[in-house]
């Protein structure tokens, strides 16, 4: 449970740390050329060629030492979150990951990773991400409780999307062992859930913009 004596400065520092970690992930993500190659190979049913492609990308990532910086920064973020929440290391790390997962699914720059579909809800820009990070920090530090109905809709949509992602990962592991085909229905449901999640955020962000709000990192 969050210590109510936490200062605005501490909350702002945690929000900044979460955003820093998120930005590192964005910078290390596939570049436009990599995405074009990936999609072209999938269209040609040559996905097996992605294996050496990913090996080359991963080698560059590790040789550059990026993983060390990411790990060190994450430890700082988790440590700050633990100090403000009083939660044990495992729970603190899981909640920091969940916050960053929600930001990743919302970030407009990362929508290309799944191939944004025409008519799908848009993601968030940098200013909107900062607002989302602030309210998520407050939400998780408050024990995942909120009086904000729209934020409640966001989190309900995220719970559905997260569950479907876990199912996709489990199915992928099963396919590696049994060579089963992907489940197109599960993939479609996950895409629909992702759209519902972003649409819920858009309602929250649009309301914030209409009110001219200046919600801080501890807002609920």
Residue 56 has what pLDDT?
47
Q: CA-CA distances (angstroms) from residue 85 to 51, 72, 81, 93? A: 41, 20, 6, 11
Count structural domains, the chain. Answer: 1
- Say if 162 falls within a structural domain: yes
Residue 97 has what pLDDT?
93
Residue 188 has what pLDDT?
83
- Say if 218 falls within a structural domain: no
Q: For every one of its 220 residues, what pLDDT tens digit does the chain have, with 9 covering 90 and above?
A: 444 445 889 999 999 999 999 988 787 765 555 555 555 545 544 444 444 444 444 444 444 556 677 788 889 999 999 999 999 999 999 999 999 999 999 998 877 555 556 778 889 999 999 999 999 999 999 999 999 999 999 999 999 999 988 887 777 677 655 555 556 787 788 889 999 999 999 999 999 999 885 444 444 4
- Say if 142 falls within a structural domain: yes
Residue 186 has what pLDDT?
76
- Say if 219 falls within a structural domain: no
Residue 115 has what pLDDT?
54
Which residues span the domain enclosing 102? 8-211
């Amino acid at each position: 449970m969050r210590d109510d004596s936490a200062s605005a400065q501490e909350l702002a520092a945690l929000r900044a740390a979460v955003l820093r970690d998120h930005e590192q992930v964005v910078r290390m993500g596939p570049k436009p050329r990599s995405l074009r190659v990936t999609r072209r190979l999938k269209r040609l049913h040559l996905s097996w060629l992605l294996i050496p492609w990913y090996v080359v990308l991963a080698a560059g990532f590790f040789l550059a030492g990026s993983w060390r910086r990411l790990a060190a920064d994450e430890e700082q973020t988790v440590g700050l979150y633990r100090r403000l929440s009083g939660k044990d290391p495992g729970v603190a790390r899981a909640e920091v990951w969940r916050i960053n997962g929600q930001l990743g699914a919302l970030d407009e720059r990362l929508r290309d990773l799944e191939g944004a579909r025409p008519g799908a809800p848009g993601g968030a820009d940098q200013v909107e991400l900062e607002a989302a990070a602030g309210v998520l920090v407050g939400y998780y530090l408050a024990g995942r409780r909120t009086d904000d109905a729209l934020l409640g809709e966001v989190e309900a949509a995220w719970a559905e999307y997260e569950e479907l992602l876990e199912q996709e990962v489990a199915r992928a592991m099963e396919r590696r062992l049994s060579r089963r085909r992907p489940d197109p229905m599960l993939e479609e449901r996950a895409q629909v859930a992702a759209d519902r999640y972003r649409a819920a955020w858009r309602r929250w962000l649009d309301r914030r913009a209409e009110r001219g709000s200046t919600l801080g990192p501890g807002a609920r």
